[in-house]
């Protein structure tokens, strides 16, 4: 599974979508207290160094950084949708507009049926990241549900839900989704949380997925993982 080559193959098919966006509280004006040094931008060769490692996850997970390939063919087709905007939402969740930008990825799993964690750190123009956030703003209201047909004939139905996760980083959007995968006879039910965080020209994507009757994430585990990933990037930029 590949996270950025489709938050669809490794996030939509093994993770999720939909969400609510929050803006950071600017806080009190501290301009008179001195000028803080502007964080530097990481270069492409440094992206893998800031990825999470298996030691950052709870016991039982395995995995780590994976080799990043080129753009994969987008063969999934939306066959049922609640609004005309669902295709835009689907493509934005997979961050297809940034697939040609420098990035590093990591994948983790506790078992063959999860839970799964996928991470990507992308270096991109801030305006391009803004476009992704704009396309995903209020996604659960604009596209409450849709169903995809995959190249192998299987189908996955997605139901988008509002998120209550806190603001993280400079700006973040959290995507919550329930999903049902089916080959026409068998059905697999699951849910996912995907968090996209902007840190200057860096886009952090962290997705967690679990399936019914399998172990789930501990309470607060995804938020803690996102905060750890943010700290790793901010420390490298200092």
pLDDT in tens, 11-40: 333 333 333 444 444 444 544 455 567 889
**Which has more confidence, 3 or 90?**
90
The DSSP 8-state label assigned to residue 129 in this structure reads H
Q: Tally the C-alpha atoms within 13 A of residue 51's C-alpha that lie toward its C-beta.
A: 25
Domain locations in the chain as residue ranges: 4-16+73-237
Q: What is the pLDDT of residues 54-94, one digit of tens each?
A: 999 998 899 999 988 665 566 788 888 888 888 888 888 87
Q: Is the model more confident about 191 or about 5?
A: 191
163/165 Cα distance (integer angstroms): 6
pTM of this structure: 0.81
- Put residue 18 in one of left, alpha, beta given phi > 0 → left and psi -120 to 50 → alpha: left
More confident residue, 76 or 158: 158
All residues at 6 or more sequence positions from 206 whose CB lies less than 8 Å from its CB, including other chains: 117, 118, 119, 194, 195, 197, 222, 225, 226, 229
**What CATH number belongs to 4-16+73-237?**
3.40.1000
User: Which of 23, 19, 18 lies closest to 170, judged by CA?
Assistant: 23
Cα distance between residue 129 and residue 119, in whole Å: 16
> Which among 113, 127, 156, 120 is positioned nearest to 5, based on CA atoms?
120
Minimum mean pLDDT among 32-41, 131-140, 168-177: which range?
32-41
| Element at 139 (helix H, strand E) | helix 139-142
Amino acid 32: pLDDT: 44
Q: Are 203 and 27 in contact (CB under 8 A)?
A: no
Give, to the nearest 10 degrees, the angle between helix 126-136 and helix 86-93.
130
CA angle, 110 as apex, 227 and 173 as ends, to 5°?
35
Q: How far is CA 173 from CA 6, 52, 115, 135, 158, in A?
A: 17, 20, 21, 11, 18
Q: In Å, how far are 127, 175, 192 from 105, measured between CA atoms?
A: 22, 19, 18
Q: How far is CA 64 from the centre of its chain?
A: 16
**Helix, strand or coil for residue 173?**
strand
């Amino acid at each position: 599974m590949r996270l950025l080559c489709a938050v669809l193959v490794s996030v939509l098919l093994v993770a999720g979508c939909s969400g609510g966006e929050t803006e950071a509280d600017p806080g009190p004006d501290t301009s008179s207290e001195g000028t803080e040094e502007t964080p530097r931008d990481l270069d492409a060769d440094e992206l893998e160094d800031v990825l999470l490692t298996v030691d950052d996850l709870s016991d039982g997970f395995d995995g780590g950084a994976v080799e990043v390939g080129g753009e994969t063919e987008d063969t999934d087709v939306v066959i049922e949708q609640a609004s005309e905007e669902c295709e835009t939402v689907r493509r934005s969740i997979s961050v297809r507009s940034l697939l040609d930008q420098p990035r590093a990825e990591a994948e983790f799993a506790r078992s063959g049926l999860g839970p799964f964690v996928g991470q990507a750190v992308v270096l991109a123009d801030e305006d391009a990241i803004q476009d992704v956030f704009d396309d995903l703003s209020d996604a659960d209201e604009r596209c409450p549900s849709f169903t995809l047909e995959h190249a192998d004939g299987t189908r996955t139905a997605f139901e988008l839900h509002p998120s209550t996760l806190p603001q993280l980083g400079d700006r973040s959007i959290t995507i919550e989704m329930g999903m049902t995968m089916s080959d026409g006879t068998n059905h697999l039910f699951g849910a996912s949380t995907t968090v996209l965080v902007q840190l200057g020209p860096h886009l952090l994507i962290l997705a967690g997925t679990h399936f019914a009757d399998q172990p789930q994430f501990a309470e607060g585990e995804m938020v803690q993982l996102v905060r750890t990933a943010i700290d790793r990037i901010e420390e490298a930029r200092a």
